[in-house]
Amino acid sequence: MNSLAGGRDPATGAPRTGTSRPFAISPAVRTFWISMVISTSPLGHLAEEYAAWWIDILGEHNHIGGADATRWLLERARLGPGRLMADCGAFVGASARMAARTTGATAVAVDLNRDFLETGRAMDGGNLVHWVTANSRRLPFRDGIFHSAWVLDADISLPELTRITTPDATLCLCCEVPVDGRGGVEAFIGELEAYGWRTAAHRQMSLEATNTWRAAEADLVRRRPYFEARYGTRPYLAQLDMLGSLVQRYERLEQGHGLFVFERR
Ligand SMILES: C[S@@+](CC[C@H](N)C(=O)[O-])C[C@H]1O[C@@H](n2cnc3c(N)ncnc32)[C@H](O)[C@@H]1O
């Protein structure tokens, strides 16, 4: 993962986005707090090595909505002791670790990048999780064994997610979705329905996405010397442009973001 690919859309390298429930603290304070925590945690070396400022901006819950969004999904995922959860595109497995710690479920964190998994293993709750280096498009698991499959701002392979889950499973997603006003969210849900999933819960996150990327953009400008020294001028400017363009796309209602829990029919 490099500065343009890490933590974003694996296909486009674009950061992920959004929600309608505001943080209890302002995004700017949250960003500052995360960067302070990161500088003293195992995430610090990843933020340095992968030049991916969303690690600085988003923290270990590397998706829009952060830990709050993870908790919202966990409340609806029907996990508990004896249930098996797959966190696909897990980064440092923050969701898998939280799921194992708070529900007693057995959690498996899958990511293409072994460095991320090794860092996650060294973090709080890392001993509670199984760590698997693999591609989410070809998961090394038997059919029908997971009670909940998660993909938070990472590559979604519906055939694989459907294949590895039990008939009573939940599918928890945090992802870009077409904007409601363009009639797109129904098309997204329709794709899931074609694989036998129906919506159990949906939380719109576009506003939160806008605010997250606005705060990130402001933080990059405010701390330009820090980020420029760390990433170099051209990557710095490219990221700034990308964040600016994301904010505009959300503001123009051209892009949306959502949390979803699906169940089998
Ligand atoms: C934005 S991060 C999200 C991380 C995590 N889900 C979270 O919410 O904290 C995207 C992650 O997906 C991983 N990833 C991207 N494509 C993948 C694939 N095809 N298979 C497995 N992991 C993938 C990346 O290495 C990165 O860790």
101 CA to middle of ligand 1, Å?
21
Burial of 107 (0-12, 13-18, 19+ CB in 10 A): buried
Q: Is the distance from the beta carbon of residue 217 to the nearest atom of ligand 1 less than 6 Å? A: no
Q: What pTM was computed for the model?
A: 0.86
Residue 112 has pLDDT above 50, yes or no: yes
| Cα Rg, the chain, nearest whole Å | 17
- Number of the ligand 1 atom closest to the C-alpha atom of 116: 27
CB of 235 closer than 8 Å to CB of 46: no
Q: Is the distance from the beta carbon of residue 97 to the nearest atom of ligand 1 less than 6 Å? A: no
Q: pLDDT per residue over 123-134, tens digit each?
A: 999 999 999 999
153 CA to middle of ligand 1, Å?
7
What would the mean pLDDT of 206-231 be, rounded to a whole number? 89
Q: pLDDT per residue over 215-224, tens digit each?
A: 989 988 998 9
In the CATH hierarchy, which fold is given to the domain comprising 66-207+255-264? Answer: Rossmann fold (3.40.50)
The pLDDT, as a whole number, for residue 187 is: 85
More confident residue, 53 or 66: 66
Query: Which residues contact residue 168 at a Cβ distance below 8 angstroms, ignoring those fewer than 6 apart?
Result: 78, 147, 263, 264
Tell me the domain boundaries of the chain.
Answer: 1-38, 66-207+255-264
Q: Is the distance from the beta carbon of residue 68 to the nearest atom of ligand 1 less than 6 Å? A: no
Concatenating the DSSP letter of every residue in 97-116 gives: HHHHHHH--EEEEEES-HHH
Q: Is the distance from the beta carbon of residue 116 to the nearest atom of ligand 1 less than 6 Å? A: yes
The pLDDT, as a whole number, for residue 254 is: 84
Q: Is the distance from the beta carbon of residue 111 to the nearest atom of ligand 1 less than 6 Å? A: yes
CB of 146 closer than 8 Å to CB of 169: yes
User: What mean pLDDT value characterizes the chain?
Assistant: 86
